[in-house]
Chains A and B, each alone.
Chain A
Amino acid sequence: MVKHYIPSTLKEALEVLDKHDCYIMAGGTDLMVVKHQRSGLIPNFDKDVCYISNLEELQYIFEDEKGVHIGAGTKFSDIEENELVPEILKQIIHELASPNIRNMATMAGNIANASPAGDSIVGLYLLDAELELVNINGSRMMPIKDFIFGVRKIHREKNELIKEIFIPHHDDLNTYWRKVGSRAAESISKITFAGGYEVENGKVKDLRMAFGSVSITCVRDRKTEEKYIGMSVEELHNHVEDIIKDMGKFVTPITDQRSTKEYRYKVAMNILKDFILTIE
């Protein structure tokens, strides 16, 4: 018989996780879909479940001199409405799932689910977000790009949970977001792209490019980006085909029920080109 734990404090939750191998239930918008059997039947959990959705200690957003801190229990709709949250994340959330799901789902759940089509993940890669993982003994920080290492594969120990998402300040970064899906609402992404740039005195001071849904994890490569940092905007525009070639190496989409790999590759590269050419 699986057990269900409904802790009322974070400390209690961490004690539960320390003793039992559990599914962590946040909003349930991934877990309840996967474990659903049939109407009227209870979901089919094969391990214990620990419910964290009502832990108030995990619901917060604040900023300090370094960046913005988002508690893991904060729902997407509260993140979208908060003025401290970077514009690109708001844009991403606005197009993610549906209003009801945004009222229920958490960004931490989107990250931990580690789907290549997890939309918030792409924005968080772009912004160099870090995760705070906690267990009963303490906490550690880990960049999101190291946390996710494959489809549904994350570096979480069994007794840990994500407590917080930390987003360093990027006040001067201009951002760009495109999501290609089958329709406006509720579509699982076929391709997503988040871009960022800073231009100072006509020179590219920062350049960032992140793709979602085109490989097993979100794709971003600092080395490639650095190759083009320091160029004038005009030079950058002249190098657009090289950038496409460089980024193209990482874009290895698959054919699935939502799209073909050829379509995904072509559209991804068109979006990249549009992004580069909008930089001014």
Chain B
Amino acid sequence: MENISFYVDDKEVIIDVDPSTRLLDVLRIKLHITGVKEGCGEGACGACSVIVDGVCYDSCLTPVANVIGKHITTIEGFRNTPQYRIIADAFADFGASQCGFCTPGMILNTYTLLKKNPHPTEEEVRVALSGNLCRCTGYNAIVKAVLDIAENGGDIEW
């Protein structure tokens, strides 16, 4: 066990854990942030996505030692931002969320995409979301929602 500290949704966290513990387990079990989902547990579905210092990671493959001192944003922190509102509204308008299991990961990856590239092409959207699996929507609704934000999202600062 080791004292490990980092920031989650702007709050400093110091916990005593085995450094190889998956970040996903720390978030869900120790910190009760269950908005972060576990799908495959092996890096193949993106349900466990979180933002680490500005880019998305699969938290199921991240040993907590790798995020020491870093800033993590989960869907539960992100949902309090105006950027979240825009993405969530577009997802609702286009029917881009059905069971919702993939949605936290989809939303965070949409955000990191738009932050880097506010006007992506359809191809760029598909590439950016290629690590996020969805068993319900067939993807087209999600891609349309993201493209709609890119076109009609106004002047928001991503």
Q: Which A residues have a C-beta under 8 Å from some C-beta of B?
A: 4, 6, 25, 27-29, 32-33, 35-36, 39-40, 42-43, 45, 49, 51, 53-54, 77, 94, 97-101, 103-104, 184-186
Distance between Cα atoms of A53 and B20 in the complex (Å): 13
Pair B130/A53 contact, Cβ less than 8 Å: no
The 8 Å CB contact of B65, one of A51, A97, A99, A103, is A51
With A6-B2, A33-B61 known as contacts, the answer to whether A49 contacts B131 (CB < 8 A) is no
Number of A-B contacts (CB under 8 A): 105
B2 to chain A, nearest CB (A): 6
In the complex, which residues of chain B have a beta carbon less than 8 angstroms from the beta carbon of A42? 18, 20-21
In the complex, which residues of chain B have a beta carbon less than 8 angstroms from the beta carbon of A32? 22, 43, 60-63
In the complex, which residues of chain A have a beta carbon less than 8 angstroms from the beta carbon of B74? none
In the complex, which residues of chain A have a beta carbon less than 8 angstroms from the beta carbon of B18? 4, 42
Distance between Cα atoms of A49 and B38 in the complex (Å): 25
Pair B57/A49 contact, Cβ less than 8 Å: no
In the complex, which residues of chain B have a beta carbon less than 8 angstroms from the beta carbon of A104? 57-58, 61-62, 66
Distance between Cα atoms of A32 and B41 in the complex (Å): 10
Distance between Cα atoms of A5 and B63 in the complex (Å): 13
B55 to chain A, nearest CB (A): 4
- The interface residues of chain B, by DSSP majority, are classed as mixed
In the complex, which residues of chain B have a beta carbon less than 8 angstroms from the beta carbon of A43? 20-22, 63
Pair A40/B29 contact, Cβ less than 8 Å: yes
Pair B131/A97 contact, Cβ less than 8 Å: yes
- Interface: B109 (CB within 8 A): yes
Chain B: which residue is nearest A30 at the CB level?
B61
